[in-house]
Structure 1
Amino acid sequence: MKHVSYEEWLKYVENELSEKVREKYEEHLYSCDDCMEIYLTALEASETSFPGFSEDHFTDSIIADIQRYKEPVEPDAGKKQKFYQRAAFHYLIAAAMTILLMYTGVFQQLIGFTEEFERSSRPSITNELMNKTTNFIENVEKETREEQN
């Protein structure tokens, strides 16, 4: 691809080119240092055409925007919540259910079920592997001692 002119880079910076041409120019920038220099020059030249920034009224305008978009206070904000919507009611229900389950023996049955399950289940694979490894090492040591004697 040929080098892109300064005027074309100005059009690129000011977003006056079609999307297809813009992509073509962007790809060209990756491979051409000369066009990169021209592009940077065009970018610097276009900076002067941007609107000025006034720090004096910037903060005031931001605060005014925030005030404009602030949510209005709901009229129901001071209204009392219903009893069943409060957290204390939920804790009370949870405590009552816990006492009921303890009284009926549900928790005791669960503990008994888990103990029975642990007793009936076979040993873990890790324990079996460790036992087999230990036995193998002991057998190797025993054979080594016998060969030395």
Structure 2
Amino acid sequence: MNQHRPLDIWMQYVNDELPPEERERCEAHLDGCDACLELYMECIGQLAAGLPGLPDTDAFAAAVMQRWAEEQLPAPDVKDNPANPPAERKRRIPWTQSPFFHYAVAAAITLLLMSTGVFHSLMGHPEPGRISYSASDRTEAYVPFSEVLLEKTIGLLDSIQPKHERGGAR
């Protein structure tokens, strides 16, 4: 039943000459058919060619902008009437989406993790750098902080890795 409509039907549709039920069927068909959409656009183009042009487009644009500016100004009684709140109050975002709420949640989680010692056990008191002693010749060598942090991270990842990947049983 979803058959293509001929050009004359689309021309009647554009000129608003179809009965309401046929018009609804055309609109439903137009929604999913690219071929009929092209026919419809062709009918619109033919109709537009027969319409008169605007004599002074600059004056028309100025009139539209003037009317738009007038509509943007709030009426004096709208401001004072609490039943009609200003547009700013209508655009408020929910408190759960405010940046302050997100910062507060992040700070609370950070304090919780710090108080339970999660960061303490993760870092294991790394020093800004440490002195390492060689067992063979008893000489001192400076180990940078990044290397200490890398060793701690590798140790943490190794403890998380499943035993079966290391060659053992589960």
Is TM > 0.5 for Structure 1 vs Structure 2?
Answer: no
**Structure number with higher helix proportion:** 1
**What is the TM-score normalised by the length of structure 1?**
0.37
Higher relative contact order (CA 8 A, sep 6+): 1
**Structure number with higher strand proportion:** 2
**What is the TM-score normalised by the length of structure 2?**
0.32
- Between structure 1 and structure 2, the one with the greater Rg is 1
